[in-house]
Amino acid sequence: MFGLQKKEKVVKNLKFRESLYRKTLSLSAIFIIVLLSCIFLTLLISSMPSIKAIGVKFIYGTTWDPVTDEYGALPFLVGTLMTAVLSLLISTPFALAIGLFLGEFYPTGWISGIIKNAVELLAGIPSVIFGFWGIFTIVPFVRAIEMKFGIPPYGVGILTASILLSIMIIPFSASLIRLVISMVPSNLKEAAYSLGATRFEVIRYVVIPNIRSGMSAGILLSLGRALGETMAVTMLIGNTQAIPKSIFDTGNTMASVIANEFTEATGKVYFSALIEIGLFLFVVTTIINIIGVNIIKRFKV
């Protein structure tokens, strides 16, 4: 009798622990979802004062002036878009080359080992060090170009930030492109080779058509990276509040304006206008990520 009771107790205890284990795990997964929703809600609630005070003008207004309490974020939207697109234009050919080099031309061997490690190392260098290095190397370089063209030689500006940004996102987009290249079924490639196709033709007519959607997802995810990059851009873009008229102009991105002004923002509307920019950044990167990740996922299957 006693033994049976004890056994029941053990079983009960076991069941309790079992359910505790499962609940803990599920709770931690729920925690991530709750965390994300809380982030969104906090941003939304905190930017309410600015949304109420400014409304839609926030998106198309061109004046950003804390003194007159006027907040139009268009210059930053334009600045962000310009730097992100320009850096993608610069980086994509290089990322594609590395992706092809590692995924197609030299998938194994010591050379690809070196390049793989070098690219990983490049990815590991902190953004703030990139920015610091850029001040001493890319700024004089761009200044020299500007002198040649007779443009006011600021050195800093959209182009400077974009060049640095493109160096920073190459590792990320290259690794994504390599991933999708490695997923092209090898029997397709072998079939083309056996018909006498050259490697270029295999890449052009078999690999590229197969990875088109995957590649666009990779570029999309890189865009998400470029939009949110803060420190290096803040150090090189010049931080002015007007809409940049050319790629040599100085400007500001959404992330850099937050980094520059957040701790100094005293007014209620000013503070919440900066948070609204953060909300914008959050929503845009989230949408980009969801689309990009879903395309890549479809690729994996």
Partner 1 sequence: MNYSTSSFFRESRNLFFKVLVIIFTIITLFPLIAILFYIFKEGISAINWHFLTHMPKPVGETGGGILNAIIGSVFIIVVAALIAVPIGVSVGLFFSDSNSQSKLYRVSHLAVDVLQGIPSIVIGIIIYLWFVKPFGKFSAVSGSIALAFMMLPSIIKSTEETLKRVPHSLKEASLALGVPYYKTMIRVIVPTGLSGILNGVILGIARVAGETAPLLFTAFGNPFLNFSIFKPMASLPLIIFNYAISPYDDWHQLAWGASFILVMIILFLNILTKLAERKWKVRF
Bridge partners, residue 181, by sequence: none
Kindly give, in sequence order, each residue whose CB lies less than 8 Å from that of residue 205, ignoring residues fewer than 6 positions away.
Answer: 192, 197
Residue 244 Cβ vs partner 1, minimum distance, rounded to whole Å = 20
CB 167 within 8 A of CB 222: no
Residue 57 Cβ vs partner 1, minimum distance, rounded to whole Å = 22
| CB environment 156-172: b (16+ within 10 A), e (fewer) | bbbbbbbbbbbbbbbbb
Residue 134 Cβ vs partner 1, minimum distance, rounded to whole Å = 9
Residue 100 Cβ vs partner 1, minimum distance, rounded to whole Å = 5
CB 193 within 8 A of CB 121: no
Which of 141, 186, 189 minimizes the C-alpha distance to 163? 141
Q: Coil, helix or strand for 238?
A: strand
Structure-token pair, residue 26: 């599920």
Structure-token pair, residue 146: 């500007």
Q: Coil, helix or strand for 62?
A: coil
- The residue (of 40 and 151) whose beta carbon lies closer to partner 1 is 40
Residue 245 Cβ vs partner 1, minimum distance, rounded to whole Å = 25
- The residue (of 151 and 282) whose beta carbon lies closer to partner 1 is 282
Q: Give the separation between CA 160 and CA 168, rounded to whole angstroms.
A: 13
- The residue (of 144 and 246) whose beta carbon lies closer to partner 1 is 144
Structure-token pair, residue 193: 């080779």
- The residue (of 78 and 257) whose beta carbon lies closer to partner 1 is 257
Residue 77 Cβ vs partner 1, minimum distance, rounded to whole Å = 15
Q: Coil, helix or strand for 34?
A: helix
- The residue (of 82 and 156) whose beta carbon lies closer to partner 1 is 156
CB 239 within 8 A of CB 249: no
- The residue (of 86 and 274) whose beta carbon lies closer to partner 1 is 274
